[in-house]
């Protein structure tokens, strides 16, 4: 899957509020909620594990639409936690 497209999907699904820092539980819950609105499912434990490997700055960069390699890697991990790829 094209990395830019993967990042776009994850960013589209993440409705993070950049102000006040990153709330990892809120990020997980919002991602799951947004996936459900799109008719997909996401695994909360998988998302927690993915987010644990990244700093708050990395998560915030993804939420702001960054296309750097770290944000794209996080986006790919989050997408892997969904049924978007047939998993």
- Is residue 86 situated within a structural domain? no
**Token representation of residue 77:** 């991990």
Whether residue 49 is contained in a domain is answered as yes
Question: Six-digit token pair at 58?
Answer: 């990395």
Does residue 60 lie within any of the structural domains? Answer: yes
For residue 44, give its domain range: 3-13+22-80
Where does the pLDDT of residue 20 fall: very low under 50, low under 70, confident under 90, or very high at 90 and above? Answer: low
Residue 5, pLDDT above cutoff 90: no
Express each pLDDT in 31-87 by its tens digit: 888 888 888 899 999 999 999 999 988 888 887 777 788 888 888 898 899 888 775
Task: Tell me which residue has tokens 């094209």.
Answer: 2
Domain membership flag for residue 85 = no
Supply the pLDDT for residue 7.
Answer: 55
What's the pLDDT at 13? 59
Give domain status of residue 87, yes or no.
no
Single pTM value for the model: 0.77
Q: Tell me what pLDDT residue 71 has.
A: 84
CA-to-CA distance for 71 and 63, rounded, in angstroms?
9
Question: Which residue has tokens 């909360």?
Answer: 44
- How many structural domains is the chain composed of? 1
């Amino acid at each position: 899957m094209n990395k830019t497209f993967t990042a776009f999907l994850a960013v589209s699904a993440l409705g993070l509020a950049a102000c006040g820092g990153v709330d990892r539980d809120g990020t997980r819950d919002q991602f799951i909620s947004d996936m459900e609105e799109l008719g997909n499912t996401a695994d909360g434990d998988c998302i927690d594990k993915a987010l644990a490997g990244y700093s708050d700055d990395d998560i915030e960069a993804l939420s702001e639409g960054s296309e750097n390699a770290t944000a794209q890697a996080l986006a790919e991990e989050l997408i892997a936690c969904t049924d978007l790829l047939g998993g």
